[in-house]
Amino acid sequence: MPAYVVSHLTIRDPEAMQRYITEAPAIVRAFGGRYLVRGGAVEALDGRWEDERMVVVEFPSREAAWPGSALRSIDRCASCGGARPRR
């Protein structure tokens, strides 16, 4: 059964974020994931939206996405890439 990771990102360092944008897809693919939503303008239809970007990734299973595997690697890449992920 697929598992979905929804991340809200606030960019702290735009230059470093470009490295993250370049490196993260290989990490996602390595764990069998694929992007469903990646960045773009986000508009809250109800409530508030306080982050700059949204990313939704589908993984083949919860185990593939769970911390210690894909999420930990992606978070490490995001931290180095100037983003603060929030899930």
Cα(22)–Cα(45) distance, integer angstroms:
30
> What is the 8-class DSSP label of residue 13?
-
Residues in the chain, total: 87
Domains observed in the chain: 3-42+49-86 (3.30.70.100)
Beta bridge partners of residue 38, listed in sequence order: 55
Q: What is the pLDDT of residues 11-52, one digit of tens each?
A: 888 887 888 888 889 888 988 999 999 877 788 889 888 888
Is the pTM of the predicted complex or chain greater than 0.75? no
